[in-house]
Chains A and B, each alone.
Chain A
Amino acid sequence: MFKKEITIALAGNPNSGKTTVFNNLTGARQHVGNWPGVTVERKEGSCRYQEYHIKVVDLPGVYSLTAYSPDEVIARNFIVDEKPDAVVDIVDASNMERNLYLAVQILEMGVPLIIALNMMDMAESRRYRIDFNALAQEIGVPVIPMVANRNRGTDELLKEIVNVFEGKSAKKKIKLYYGSELEEHINELEELISHDEELSRQFSPRWLAIKLIEQDKEVLEKIGDKL
Chain B
Amino acid sequence: MSREEILQAKDRSIAHLKRIFGDEAETVIAEERYGFISGLLKDVLKKPAIERLTLSDNIDKVVVNRWLGIPLFLAIMYGVFQFVFTLSAPFMDWIDTFFGWLGGYTSGVSPDWLGSLLADGIIGGLGSVLIFIPPIFLLFIAIAILEDCGYMARAAFVMDRVMHKVGLHGRSFIPMILGFGCNIPGIMACRTIENPKDRLTTILINPFMSCGARLPIFVLLAGAFFTANQGLVVFSMYIIGIIVAIIMALVLRKSILKGPSGHFVMELPPYRLPTITGVLVHMWERGSLFLRKAGTIIFGVVVLVWLLSSLPWGVEYASAESWIGQIGSFIAPIFAPAGFGQWQAAVSLIFGFLAKEVVVGTMGAIFAAEGGLLGGAIASQLGWTPLIAFAFMVFCLLYVPCVAAIGAIRGETNSWKWAGFAALYTTVVAWIVATLIFQIGRLFMS
Is A149 a contact of B278 with CB atoms below 8 Å?
A: yes
CA distance A128 to B54 in the complex (A): 13
Q: Is B291 an interface residue (CB 8 A)?
A: no
CB neighbours of B112 from chain A (8 A):
none
Q: Report A7-42 residues with CB < 8 Å from chain B CB.
A: 14-15, 19-20, 23, 38-41
A40, A192, A193 — most chain B CB neighbours (10 Å):
A192
Please indicate the chain A residues that have their CB under 8 angstroms from the CB of B3 in the complex. Answer: 196, 199, 223, 226-227
Indicate whether A131 reaches chain B with its CB closer than 8 angstroms: yes
- Minimal Cβ-Cβ distance residue in B for A62: B192
CB distance from A211 to the nearest CB of B (A): 10
Distance A129 CA – B412 CA, assembled complex (angstroms): 45
CB-CB contacts below 8 Å: A167-224 with B = 176-179, 181-182, 185, 188-189, 192-193, 195-196, 199, 210, 212-215, 223-224
Interface residues in B1-37 (C-beta closer than 8 Å to A): 1-7, 9-10, 13-14, 16-17, 20-21, 24-26, 28-29, 32-34, 36-37
Residue of B nearest to A216 (CB): B26
Is A94 part of the binding interface, using a Cβ–Cβ cutoff of 8 Å?
A: yes
Cβ of B190 to closest chain A Cβ, rounded Å: 11
Residues of B within 8 A of A105 (CB): 33
Bound Cα distance from A20 to B279, whole angstroms: 11
A129 / chain B contacts, CB cutoff of 8 Å:
45-46
User: Of B132-140, B216-224, B269-277, B301-309, which binds chain A?
Assistant: B269-277
A81 interface contact, C-beta 8 A: no
Q: Are B25 and A214 in contact (CB under 8 A)?
A: yes
Q: Does A56 contact B (CB under 8 A)?
A: no
Given A96-B45, A126-B48, A104 and B36 contact (CB-CB distance below 8 Å): yes
Q: For the complex, what is the distance from the CA of A101 to the CA of B34, rounded to whole Å?
A: 7
Instruction: For B47, list chain A residues within 8 Å (CB).
Output: 126-128
The yes or no answer to A68 lying at the interface (CB within 8 A) is: yes
Q: B17, B40, B191, B412: which contacts A138 (Cβ < 8 A)?
A: B40
- A134 at the binding interface (Cβ < 8 Å): yes
Q: Does A100 contact B (CB under 8 A)?
A: yes
Does A214 lie within 8 Å of B54, measured CB to CB? no
Judging by beta carbons under 8 Å apart, are A215 and B51 in contact?
no
- The smallest C-beta distance from A168 to any residue of chain B, in angstroms, reads 24
Interface mask (B272-316 → A, CB under 8 Å = 1, otherwise 0):
100101100100000000000000000000000000000000000
A214 and B6 contacting across the interface, CB-CB below 8 Å: no
Collect the chain A residues with CB atoms within 8 Å of residue B16's CB.
185
* Among candidates A96, A192, A224, residue contacting B41 with C-beta atoms closer than 8 Å: A96
Q: Does B408 contact A (CB under 8 A)?
A: yes
Which secondary structure dominates chain B's binding surface?
helix
A131 to B277, alpha carbons, bound, how many Å? 31
Q: How far is the CB of B146 from chain A (nearest CB, A)?
A: 15
Query: B40, A100: Cβ atoms under 8 Å?
Result: yes
Whole-angstrom distance between the alpha carbons of A215 and B52 in the complex?
42
B241 to chain A, nearest CB (A): 24
- The answer for the CA separation of A195 and B4 in the assembled complex, in Å, is 13
Shortest distance in angstroms between A106's beta carbon and chain B's nearest beta carbon? 12
A20-B275, A182-B25, A213-B14 as given contacts; A193 in contact with B6, CB under 8 Å:
yes
- A69 and B262 alpha carbons, distance in the complex (Å): 14
B236 contacts A by Cβ under 8 Å: no
* Complex contacts, A212 vs chain B, CB 8 Å: 6-7, 10
Determine the chain A residues whose CB is within 8 A of the CB of B20 once the complex forms.
181
Q: Are A131 and B43 in contact (CB under 8 A)?
A: yes
Smallest CB separation, A173 vs chain B (Å)? 15
**Chain B minimum-CB-distance residue to A41:** B188
- Please name the residue on chain B nearest to A108 by beta carbon: B33
In the complex, what's the smallest C-beta–C-beta distance from A10 to chain B, in angstroms? 16
Q: Is the CB of A130 within 8 A of B45?
A: yes
- B residues apposed to A, CB below 8 Å: 1-7, 9-10, 13-14, 16-17, 20-21, 24-26, 28-29, 32-34, 36-38, 40-41, 43-48, 51-52, 54, 188, 191-192, 194, 267, 269-270, 272, 275, 277-278, 281, 408, 411-412
Which A residues have a C-beta under 8 Å from some C-beta of B?
Answer: 14-15, 19-20, 23, 38-41, 68-71, 94, 96-97, 100-101, 104-105, 122, 125-131, 134-135, 138-139, 149, 176-179, 181-182, 185, 188-189, 192-193, 195-196, 199, 210, 212-215, 223-224, 226-227
8 closest cross-chain pairs (CB), A and B: A185-B13, A15-B269, A129-B46, A214-B26, A127-B48, A135-B44, A212-B10, A100-B37
Q: Could you give 25 example pairs across A and B, Cβ below 8 Å?
A: A14-B267, A94-B270, A97-B38, A97-B41, A100-B37, A100-B41, A101-B33, A101-B34, A105-B33, A126-B47, A126-B51, A130-B45, A130-B46, A134-B43, A178-B29, A189-B9, A192-B6, A192-B9, A213-B13, A213-B29, A214-B25, A215-B26, A223-B6, A226-B3, A227-B4
Taking A104-B37, A212-B7, A212-B10 as known contacts, 19 extra A-B pairs with beta carbons closer than 8 A to each other, sorted by chain A number, are A14-B267, A20-B275, A38-B191, A41-B188, A70-B191, A97-B37, A97-B41, A100-B37, A101-B34, A126-B51, A134-B43, A135-B40, A149-B275, A176-B36, A181-B21, A182-B25, A193-B6, A196-B2, A213-B14
